[in-house]
Chain A
Amino acid sequence: MRVELNGVPTDVDTETVAGLVGGLTSAERGVAVAVNGEVVPRSQWHRALCTGDRVEVLTASQGG
């Protein structure tokens, strides 16, 4: 399935937000996800992704 991951069209071999995040980082905290502009709480990371979804995976970084 192809989604837009952090602005880049990406083929992913997972069906869920949790699977996608797990493929990027092993961090248990400090990560947040939005799909198509809507925040997806960690408790909802089991939700299925759809082809073409715009997925933003964010983390805390230097700033401010």
Chain B
Amino acid sequence: MTDPTDTLVIAGRELGSRLILGTGGATGHTVLRDAVTASGTDLVTVAMRRLDPETPGSILDVLADCGVSVLPNTAGCFTARQAVRTAHLAAEACDTRWIKLEVVGDEDTLLPDAVELLAATTDLVRDGFVVLAYTSDDPVLAMRLADAGAAAVMPLAAPIGSGLGIRNPHNLALIREKVSVPVICDAGIGTASDAAVAMELGLDAVLLATAVTRAADPPLMAAAMRDAVRAGRAAYRAGRIPRRRYAEASTPFTGLAAL
């Protein structure tokens, strides 16, 4: 079970899980509800899109039923101006000042636009938002975002939805060393072992969507991610053994028979 003394705290708020779940790609509200429940998460992302009067039910009602908090995002924004406006609209719609800030610079890779991201972070912090900034795995940019007041930095493991896993574990570990705010691995997770590795690197949490929502069995993968994040965190705290080039016998040679 999760150690109650090892709680994730973002902007002074304790979260009951180190797994944050995205909802993009879910095939329906029923499977989403089952996946959210199985994941054990406390915090779930939503996007802001044009209201379609024909769409039945609200995702906010589903998430309220699950007892989780909503983290709106600025997915689809390419400029700081778009992202800041979207954040203010999200605050209106979702009644929260927390925002997962995404400002991307390229349609094919959906990689963050560092210049626009930093500008939007600065503006939204000034406007009183709790900014969780989706960023690249650049330690210097992460430092700049933290300096600008981001409540958490969220470096990608790999491009959004790619499922490629952690492409640059060294940089993620550097980011964890270089900033004092929580570091959340966001995007690129493909399967449970990826999430465990992120946690073993010392990152504070994992945010993933596609790996669960587009799995063949989303609730089962959500449960796998829950366990992977817990196991990875426990392994990090336990302190792994150093890597060695040669064997080190775990059984002593003393008392070995002369045969």
Chain A residues close to B by CB (< 8 Å): 6-7, 24-25, 27, 29-34, 37-39, 41-42, 56-64
Please provide the chain B residues from 93 to 128 with a CB less than 8 Å away from any CB of chain A in the complex: 93-95, 100, 102
Complex CA–CA separation, A27 to B25 (angstroms): 24
Chain B residues close to A by CB (< 8 Å): 22-26, 32, 45-51, 53, 55, 58-60, 70-73, 75-76, 85, 88-90, 92-95, 100, 102, 209
Q: Is the CB of A58 within 8 A of B49?
A: yes
Question: Can you name the residue of chain B whose Cβ is closest to the Cβ of A30?
Answer: B60
Central interface residue in A29, A32, A60, A61, by most chain B CB within 10 Å: A60
19 more A-B residue pairs beyond the given contacts A30-B93, A60-B72, A64-B71, with a C-beta to C-beta distance below 8 A:
A6-B50, A30-B60, A38-B85, A41-B92, A57-B50, A58-B48, A58-B93, A60-B47, A60-B90, A60-B94, A61-B46, A61-B48, A62-B59, A63-B23, A63-B46, A63-B76, A64-B47, A64-B73, A64-B209
Q: Is the CB of A58 within 8 A of B50?
A: yes
Contacts A32-B93, A64-B100 given: A57-B73 contact, CB under 8 Å? no
Contacts A34-B89, A39-B85 given: A60-B48 contact, CB under 8 Å? yes
Q: Is the CB of A30 within 8 A of B58?
A: yes
Q: Is the CB of A59 within 8 A of B48?
A: yes
Complex CA–CA separation, A39 to B70 (angstroms): 20
Complex CA–CA separation, A25 to B57 (angstroms): 11
Q: Is the CB of B75 within 8 A of A64?
A: yes
Q: Is the CB of A59 within 8 A of B58?
A: yes
- A sample of 13 cross-chain residue pairs with beta-carbon separation below 8 angstroms, ordered by A number, consists of A7-B50, A30-B60, A30-B94, A32-B89, A39-B92, A56-B89, A58-B51, A60-B47, A60-B48, A61-B59, A62-B23, A62-B46, A64-B22
Which A residues touch B32, using CB under 8 A? 62
Which A residues touch B45, using CB under 8 A? 63-64
Complex CA–CA separation, A41 to B91 (angstroms): 10
Q: Which of B70, B76, B100 contacts A60 (CB 8 A)?
A: B70
